Structure 1
Amino acid sequence: MKQNNILTIVIPCFNEEEVLPETVKEIGNILQNLMSDGKVSDNSKILFVNDGSKDKTWSLIEKYSHQYSYVTGLKFSRNYGHQNALLAGMSTAVDYSDMIITIDADLQDDVHAIPQMVDKRLDGYDVVYGVRNSRKTDTVFKRKTALAFYNLMGKLGVKLVPDSADYRLLSNRATRALLKFKERNLFLRGMVPLVGYKSTKVYYARKERYAGKSKYPLNKMIHFALDGITSFSIAPIHLIMYLGLITVIISIICMIYTFVEKVMGHVVSGWASIMISIWLLGGIQLISISVIGEYVGKIFSEVKHRPRFTIEFENYTKKMRAK
C-alpha cells in the first residue's frame, strides 16, 4: 500500500438530493476499488461541498459522512457558486492530499475515468484533464454553443482544453500553484492551463444527467462565458476601439458624400438617415459603456478583497487527523 498517495475527490453540490445517493454509491465503489488495488491510500476521501442547497443535500451528506469513513462534507453559509465550491474543496484538501480530482455530482461525467486519471498521475503527470469524446446526450444547441465558445476563446488567445469542463486531476503541487491565483472572478478552465506542469488527457463519453435538473440554465451559461472572456482577455476593449474607428471612417465618408451632393444641388432632406445615424451611434455608445463597465465592475470586485466563501461546517480535516 502506498500510504502517501492520498486522493481526495471534490464534488460541489447545489440541490442534489435526487442524485446524491447514486453519486455516493458509484464514486464510493470507484474509490474503494482504488484503495483495494493499492493505487491510493486507505485514507483517501470524497469531499462533498454543499453550496447553499435549499433541499436535503446537506442532511444526506451528514448521513453518509457518519455511514462511510471515506465520505466527508463541507458546508457554505450560503450559495457562493460552482467555481467557489470547487476552490473551497481544493483549499480544504490540499494540506492532506497528494492528488485531487474534481467532478460534478450529476454523474454526467463518467466516473470510470477516475482510475485512468489516477494511473496517469502515478505515471508522473501533474494535471490530467477529463475530455469528452462524445456529447450525444447534450442538445444540438449546447454542442454548437460550446464549440463556438471554445473557438472564440482560442481566437482571443485564451488557452483552454476543448471539451474539458471541471472534471480533472491535479497533483498537490499543481493544486498549490492554482491556489496562488487570487482573483475573485473565477474561471478555472482557463486558470488551470496557466499553472503549467506536465499534463495529459483522459477521454470519456458524456452521459445524461442521472436525476434532477441542470444547475446551468442558459442565463448562467451566458454569464459563465462572459466571465471567462472578460477575465482572460481585453479583446472586447480593442473591439470597441476598432468599432469607433470604423464609425469615424463611415462618418467621414458620409460627410464627403453630403458635401458633394450639396455642391451638385441634389439636396434631399429626410428623417430616415438622421434617425438611423442617431440610433446607430447611440447603440454603439451603450454597448461600449457596458463592456467597459463589465471590466470596471470586475476591478471593483477584486479591490475589495472580500472572502470568496464562508465555511459554516466541515468535517474533512477532523477525519484526516483521526488517522
Structure 2
Amino acid sequence: MAAQRTSVEQRQQPTIFFVIPCYNEIEQLPITAPVLQKKISALKSSHLIAEDSRVLFVDDGSKDGTWQYIRQLNKTDASLFHGVKLAHNRGHQNALLAGLMTALSQGCDAAISLDADLQDDINVFDEFVKQYVSGAEIVYGVRSSRNKDTWFKRNTAEAFYALNAWMGAETIRDHADYRLMGRAALQALSEYGEVNLFLRGIVPELGFSTAVVTYERGEREAGESKYPLKKMISFAVEGITSFSVKPLHFVTGMGMLSILVGIGMFIYVIVSWANNNVVSGWGSIMCSLWLIGGLLMLSMGIIGEYVGKIYLEAKHRPRYVIETEI
C-alpha cells in the first residue's frame, strides 16, 4: 500500500502535453486556441496539472496558413502554444505519433491527444487527469452515443468495430484517438517501428492499467472533415491488415471451396455424359468463369495488401520528418 501511495503522489500535478495534429485547419484554429487556453488555464488554477503543461500543434504539411497561425499563437503565448511542422504531409496517424514522440522527448508526464476540431469534449480533461493521478497509464475517451451521426456513419462505424473484432484486431469500441497516455506508455509506443501505423490497435496492445471516460461528441464548428468516405475505408483496411492475417485464411478457405465446387461440377458432367443427358451449359460455364475470376482477383487483392505492407516495411523509411519546431 505504501508503494502505491508513493506512485499516486508522484503523479500529482503532472506536466500534460495536449497533442493536436493539424492539416489545413486555418478556419478552425482561431476557434480552438482560445477555448483550449481558457480550459488549460482553469486546470492549472485548480492545481490539477503543472504550470509547464502546454499545447503542441503538429502541422501535417498543411497547404493553407495553418503553420503561420501556429507561429502567431506561439508569439502571443510562448509558454502555452508550441508547434511542430512536418516537412511533408504524412497522414493523421504519423502526425499524431510525431507529436507524441516530441512530447516524450520534451519531458512530459503524460500526453492527451485530440483533434483540432474540438468535437471531442475537452471538459473531460479533468477526469482524464484524475484517472491518471489515480494510477491509470492509459485513459480512453469513449463516445457515450452516436445519436448525432447520420444513419450511414453510425452503421459503417458499427460494421468497422464488428469486423475488427471478428478479424482479431483489438480496438476500443467507439474510441478514436482521444486518449491520455502516460510516460511509460509513450515510451513503450516509441519501440513500435512499423511504417503502417494504426494507433487504435497498437495502444490497446501495449497493456498497462487503463481507464475509460465517456463523453458526448459535438459538431465541427468550421472547416471540413479530414476523414471522408474514401479515407475511412482506407483506414479500415489499414487497421485490419495491420493486426490480422484472417483475410489470408479467408482466401485459403475460398480457394478450397472453389476446388470442391469444381470437383462437384466435374462429377456432374461425367454422370450426365454417361446418361446421355448432355445439355449445352454455356450459361453455367460463364457464371462459373466469372465466379472463379472474381475470387481470384479478390484473393490477389488481399494478398497484394500484405505484400505492399511488407514492401513498405522493408525499406525502413522514416515515418515522418520534422522540418522545424517552435
Range of TM-score over shorter length? over 0.9
CA displacement at 1:32 relative to structure 2: 1.0
User: What pairs up with 1:1-323 in 2 under 5 angstroms?
Assistant: 5-68=14-77, 69-95=79-105, 96-315=107-326
CA displacement at 1:158 relative to structure 2: 1.5
- TM-score by length of structure 2 reads 0.94
CA displacement at 1:210 relative to structure 2: 1.3
CA distance in 2, matches of 1:93, 1:54: 24
Q: Give SS of 2:141's match.
A: strand
1:158-177, CA deviations, whole angstroms, 9 ceiling, x for partnerless residues?
21110000000000001111
Q: Which runs of 4+ in 1 moved over 4 A?
A: 1-4
Q: CA RMSD in A?
A: 1.3
Q: Give SS of 2:226's match.
A: coil
Q: Give SS of 1:257's match.
A: helix
Greater CA drift, 253-262 or 218-227: 253-262
Q: Give SS of 1:40's match.
A: coil
- TM-score by length of structure 1 reads 0.95
Q: Give SS of 2:144's match.
A: strand
Gaps of 5+ in 1: 316-323
Q: State the AA in 2 paired with 1:80.
A: R
Greater CA drift, 5-14 or 273-282: 273-282
CA distance in 1, matches of 2:13, 2:149: 39
CA displacement at 1:136 relative to structure 2: 2.2
Q: Give SS of 1:212's match.
A: coil
Greater CA drift, 198-207 or 33-42: 33-42
Contact 2:86 2:320 in 1 (8 A): yes
Q: Give SS of 1:86's match.
A: helix
Contact 1:130 1:204 in 2 (8 A): yes
Q: State the AA in 2 paired with 1:150.
A: Y
Q: State the AA in 2 paired with 1:252.
A: I
CA displacement at 1:22 relative to structure 2: 1.4
